[in-house]
Amino acid sequence: MMSPASHIAATDQCDEPMLPNDGRTEPQSASEPRLDLTAIRRQFPVLAREVYEGVPLVYLDSAATSLKPACVIDALAEHYRSRSANVHRGLHRLAEEATEAYEQARERVARFIHAPAARQVIFTHGATESMNLVAHSWGRKYLGPGAEVVVTEMEHHANLVPWQQAAAQSGAALRSAPITDDGQLDLAALDRMLTPRVKLVAVTACSNVLGTVNPIEAIAKMAHAVGAVVMVDGAQHVPHRPTDVAAWDCDFLAFSSHKTCGPEGVGVLYGKAELLETMPPFLTGGEMVRRVRRTDADWNELPWKFEAGTPPIAPAIALGVAVDFIDSVGFEAIGAHEAELLAYAYHRLSEAPGLRILGPEPRRRSGLVSFTLEGIHPHDVAQLLDRRGIAIRAGHHCAQPLHTQLGIAASARASFYLYNTTADVDRLVEGVCEAQKLFSPRG
């Protein structure tokens, strides 16, 4: 079995300036943008909460779902307060306003991921539904006996199980590209797997367990060379790093609102127009048709062909506000801040005896750290940390095959975002040390 690399040991509030240094740490260079963490944290109301009496919240679970800024919360409430109407159907004022706000959100999201056209952005009810849409719609049309789908060993279940089902139903074969000993995708092995039989490569842009950031542009070029299309799971990438679907030349990209400072209940599927236009609808009914006859129907244009029934109107509108909020902070500043936090956390946690960090070194990963503690179950770690007000994730993180490959059943995961501080990391490390004292046989 592989031995992975490890170490043992829109409101006014959202318009506030956010870049002066908060004074906690020195900038890495004079020109590097800095976040004003006091101003940033003021945007997120839940950070003022005490989760237990006298115990303030330390939120280190953004890889599961990010916190929401006040401007997003306000946008969600404002839709219901002033224009709670359906879209694309009514001729009255409220319906027209709702439709305009909904389609403006689509434009905002398209700009955020550099989609060539807004009609290539489809609103779903989550990233999981987005990937299921491709597996069912594209897979039904293009997969069959003799075809192959290639996934990777680091995939989230949402970009694995739909392809298991699509392969089983179509008679296609499902193959898995391995990872290296240090938790990176084995690109040489992937290249050897790519033959003209491969019709699709499903790959995460950033692993939700290892933190590994994959070279999507290079992978897309490799896949396209044999005529395969590329389905990218962007759930852990889009909120944290610039995402340019045109530069990547990926065929499909899925991501979720609730990891991107937006509300639950809405996700995004980007697809190349020439592929989307050939694909049959995933769901039917409502405004996804142009004309219906007794025995058949004509489909609507993109993107509405794939938005059957009442779409997630208010969440989509609030997502538009969320991506604007992230843009106002800037990925350069967010990236520098997360890199600093990651390096600090990696160093501090590496000093703990019996602690194993999963995945590559900090310069090759995103802002999360999954780890195990010798002799202590991750669930026990998470519960003890919770009593100290520290929210982390424990379990298999919807990536059971990866954990099996790593030789473990579960891991603990701390994930960082723009509102976290080095003090949050210090409290995490203190909690880990306490867990070792309480649960370790050597304690």
Active-site residue numbers? Answer: 398
- Give the C-alpha distances (Å, rounded to integers) separating 26 from 35, 117, 128: 12, 41, 40
The rounded distance, in Å, linking the Cα atoms of 21 and 33 is 8
- Upper half-sphere CA count for residue 194 (Cβ side, 13 Å): 22
182 neighbors 361 (Cβ within 8 angstroms) = yes
Q: What is the 3-state secondary structure (H, E, C) of the chain?
A: CCCCCCCECCCHHHHCCCCCCCCCCCCCCCCCCCCCHHHHHHCCHHHHCEEECCEECEECECCCCCCCCHHHHHHHHHHHHHCCCCCCCCCCHHHHHHHHHHHHHHHHHHHHCCCCCHHHEEEECCHHHHHHHHHHHHHHHHCCCCCEEEEECCCCHHHCHHHHHHHHHHCCEEEEECECCCCCECHHHHHHHCCCCEEEEEEECECCCCCEECCHHHHHHHHHHCCCEEEEECCCCCCCCCCCHHHHCCCEEEEECCCCCCCCCCEEEEECHHHHCCCCCCCCCHHHEEEECCCCEEECCCCHHHCCCCCCHHHHHHHHHHHHHHHHHCHHHHHHHHHHHHHHHHHHHHCCCCEEEECCCHHHECCEEEEEECCECHHHHHHHHHHCCEECEEECCCCHHHHHHHCCCCEEEEECCCCCCHHHHHHHHHHHHHHHHHHCCCC
